[in-house]
Amino acid sequence: MSEILNLGVNIDHVATIRNARGESHPAPLRAAHLVAKAGADGITAHLREDRRHMTDADIASLTTEIDLPLNLEMAATDEMLKIALKHLPHAACIVPEKRQERTTEGGLDVVGGQNYLMPIIRSLTDSGIRVSLFVEADMLQIDAAKNLGASVVEIHTGAYCNASGILREQELSRIKKAAVHAAGLNIEVHAGHGLGFDTVGAIAEIPQFSELNIGHFLIGEAIFEGLDSSIKRMRSLMDNARATLGGER
């Protein structure tokens, strides 16, 4: 069991709201300070090729002006590699990116993409950046991530969050098996995408996870109850789920 369960808060959608007016308010940097004060363990930001939310300037300020570790989500492209090597975030999470999608729709095809992924993972790792690959709960993808030297896999929880009833149970069971498999390979296991107050508990109870990355729900919920309160509530749901595990090691 992982002794810790960190909460990384993805603040992309603060930038989405800012960009709706093309001005400077609300500033992601200000949100990042609040996220830190609320007790989160890290900031996550996705610099997309089309810059639809985060900008290069946001990444620069988040790496230099915030004490929390930055997890930079990025596509495996030369442009993004250059930016990561310039700013040296604590971690980089490589995600698949399609320009037309609303959000990251699925996991990375690590098996099919080994040739282009390998040099990027190597460059990031050699620069001291912890590399995570965002994958479906699929053993072959996890095996390929391990073979490529990634130190983390982040398991996509979107299908679990979007399903209901028996289908949600099936997705949860797939995620549990994948987490056990990854931990057995000695690779750090994270999870994220689509998580909210109703779905986080069952994921936090999976003892292999050491980090959850949550964004859209928290930023949306902040409209109703404030960012500080929504993060604290999420944190306490995660802590309560972990507490129920007791001595299960």
Binding footprint of ligand PXP on the chain (CB under 6 A): 10, 12, 46, 73, 93, 95, 103-104, 134, 154, 192-195, 213-217
CB of 69 to ligand PXP, least distance (A): 15
73 in active site? yes
- Judging by beta carbons within 10 Å of its beta carbon (0-12, 13-18, 19+), is residue 246 exposed, middle or buried? exposed
d(CA 137, CA 149): 18
Residue 46 or 87 having the CB closest to ligand PXP: 46
CB of 195 to ligand PXP, least distance (A): 6
CB of 9 to ligand PXP, least distance (A): 9
Q: Which two tokens stand for residue 101?
A: 């999608």
Catalytic residue, candidates 171, 193, 211, 221: 193
216 in active site? no
CB of 145 to ligand PXP, least distance (A): 13
Helix segments in 127-163, DSSP class H: 139-147, 158-162
Catalytic residue, candidates 13, 46, 87, 181: 46
193 in active site? yes
Q: Do the Cβ atoms of 200 and 234 come closer than 8 Å?
A: yes
Sign, CA torsion 145/238/180/195: negative
d(CA 240, CA 38): 17
Catalytic residue, candidates 53, 73, 190, 205: 73
Active centre residues (catalytic): 46, 73, 193
